[in-house]
Amino acid sequence: MTESAAHFLTVLICTYNNADSLLITLSQLAAQQYDTKFLVEFLVVDNNSTDHTAAELSVFCRNNSQFTYIFEEKQGLSHARNTGVAKAQGRYVLFTDDDAELPPDWVRAYMETILLHRPVCCYSKISVLWQKSKPWWYCTAFRPHFVELDYGQILLNINDIDHEFFGKNFCVLRKEIIDQGGFDPRLGRIGTRLVAGEETVIYRRMIAQGKKLIYFPGAQVGHRLKDKEYTLSHI
Q: Which amino acid, residue 62? A: R
Distance CA 64, CA 11 (A): 14
- Tens digits of residue pLDDT in 103-124: 999 999 999 999 999 999 999 9
Angle made by CA atoms 23, 57, 62, in degrees to the nearest 5: 115
Taking the model in full, what pTM does it have?
A: 0.91
Beta strands in 29-125, from DSSP E residues, in sequence order: 39-46, 67-71, 92-97, 100-101, 121-123
pLDDT band, residue 185 (cuts 50/70/90): confident
| pLDDT tens string 47-69 | 999 999 999 999 999 999 999 99
Closest CA relative to residue 196, chosen from 166, 221, 175 = 166
Question: What's the Cα-to-Cα distance from 4 to each of 7, 91, 125, rounded to whole Å?
Answer: 8, 11, 29
**For 189-210, what is each residue's pLDDT tens digit?**
554 445 556 788 899 999 999 9
Q: Is the pLDDT confidence value at 4 over 50?
A: no
Distance CA 10, CA 88 (A): 6
pLDDT-derived band at 99 (thresholds 50, 70, 90) equals very high
Q: What is the pLDDT of residues 38-52, one digit of tens each?
A: 899 999 999 999 999
Sheet holding 221-224, edge to edge: 100-101, 221-224, 126-129
| 116-167 pLDDT, tens digit each | 999 999 999 999 998 888 888 888 888 878 889 999 999 999 999 999 999 8
Pairwise CA distance, residues 24 & 154, whole Å: 30
